[in-house]
């Protein structure tokens, strides 16, 4: 399943964030979205998911606009991990993760065996099975973030939009989360677009979209775009590169 944006323009008030962006997210592709705070990264994900309007342009999921899908049908095609939640969840971690199965539910009275199996796999994928019966409200920030990732994994959509999935995670679980995304793309043929701030992991992506926040953007392979001079222009600070290929990482320097 593919996700396409054609001549997409995004604006906040009178300020244009992204101008005339053409983007195609295809099965088996892993994209990183990089840019400063306020450059339009989250706005882009919201527009692609049909959660916010675009100033102009067209978005299509498997050839159809997001608005043409019924809500549950769209949930079987596309999943989004948002930066934050506006409401507190009252139940257990396991019950929270199972909310991801809502688009697949066949009835109103409980989950089927396939739903339960998907939820269990999602808990295991993020080391959450021992915490399954904990009240969601008692979890730490990092545990909640892993639960939110697990909920997306239980949903199991072919297209995934993830907004800063590594926030609040310790080093081990940052690596784990990235590896789960890579596995989903590489082994299951999904497609993922990931908003990132940590350039230590940027080299692990196939393709990169740079947003400058003033309408300008650049898209291409990680090998083409991830170089110190270009990133310095993107972030407005000196950047030094270490390593190469998938092991490449970048740090700001004075």
User: Which of 196, 194, 175, 199 has the alpha carbon at shortest distance from 249?
Assistant: 199
Q: Predicted confidence band at 247 (pLDDT cuts at 50, 70, 90)?
A: confident
Task: Give me the percent of the chain exceeding a pLDDT of 70.
Answer: 98
CATH classification of the domain holding 194: 3.40.50.300
Count, residues in the chain: 254
Q: Predicted confidence band at 243 (pLDDT cuts at 50, 70, 90)?
A: confident
Query: Is pLDDT larger for residue 9 or for residue 253?
Result: 9
Residue 49 lies inside a defined structural domain of this protein: yes
Residue 50 lies inside a defined structural domain of this protein: yes
Domain residues for the domain of 240 are: 3-87+157-253
Stated as kind and residue range, the H or E segment containing 191 is strand 191-195
Model pLDDT, residue 84: 83
Q: What is the mean pLDDT of residues 29-39?
A: 97
Model pLDDT, residue 253: 87
Residue 241 lies inside a defined structural domain of this protein: yes
Residue 107 has pLDDT above 90, yes or no: no
Residue 145 lies inside a defined structural domain of this protein: no
Residue 98 lies inside a defined structural domain of this protein: no
By the 8 A CB rule, do 8 and 59 touch? Answer: yes
Q: Predicted confidence band at 108 (pLDDT cuts at 50, 70, 90)?
A: low
How far is Cα 181 from Cα 26, in angstroms, rounded to an integer? 15
How far is Cα 119 from Cα 22, in angstroms, rounded to an integer? 35
Residue 26 lies inside a defined structural domain of this protein: yes
* Average pLDDT of every residue of the chain: 94
- Tokens representing 69 are 């899908």
Query: Is pLDDT larger for residue 107 or for residue 1?
Result: 1
Residue 211 lies inside a defined structural domain of this protein: yes
The number of distinct structural domains making up the chain is 1
Among the residue ranges 164-168, 182-186, 199-203, the one predicted with the least confidence is 199-203
Residue 125 lies inside a defined structural domain of this protein: no
């Amino acid at each position: 399943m593919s996700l396409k944006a054609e001549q997409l323009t995004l604006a906040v008030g009178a300020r244009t964030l992204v101008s005339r962006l053409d983007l195609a997210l295809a099965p088996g592709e892993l994209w990183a979205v990089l840019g400063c705070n306020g450059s339009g990264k989250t706005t882009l994900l919201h527009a692609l998911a049909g959660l916010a309007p675009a100033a102009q342009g067209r978005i299509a999921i498997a050839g159809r606009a997001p608005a043409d899908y019924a809500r549950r049908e769209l949930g079987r095609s596309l999943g989004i991990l948002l930066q934050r939640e506006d409401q507190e969840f009252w139940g257990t971690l396991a019950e929270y993760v199972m909310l991801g199965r809502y688009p697949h539910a066949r009835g109103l009275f409980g989950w089927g065996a396939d739903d339960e199996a998907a939820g269990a796999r999602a808990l295991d994928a993020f080391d959450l099975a021992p915490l399954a019966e904990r009240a969601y409200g008692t979890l730490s920030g990092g545990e909640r973030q892993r639960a939110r990732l697990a909920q997306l994994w239980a949903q199991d959509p072919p297209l995934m939009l993830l907004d800063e999935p590594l926030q609040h995670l310790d080093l081990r679980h940052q690596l784990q989360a990235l590896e789960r995304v890579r596995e989903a793309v590489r082994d299951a043929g999904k497609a993922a677009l990931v908003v990132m701030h940590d350039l230590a992991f940027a080299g692990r992506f196939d393709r990169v979209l740079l947003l400058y926040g003033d309408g300008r953007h650049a898209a291409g392979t990680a090998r083409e775009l991830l170089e110190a001079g270009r990133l310095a222009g993107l972030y407005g600070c000196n950047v030094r590169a270490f390593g190469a290929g998938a092991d490449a990482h970048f740090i700001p320097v004075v």
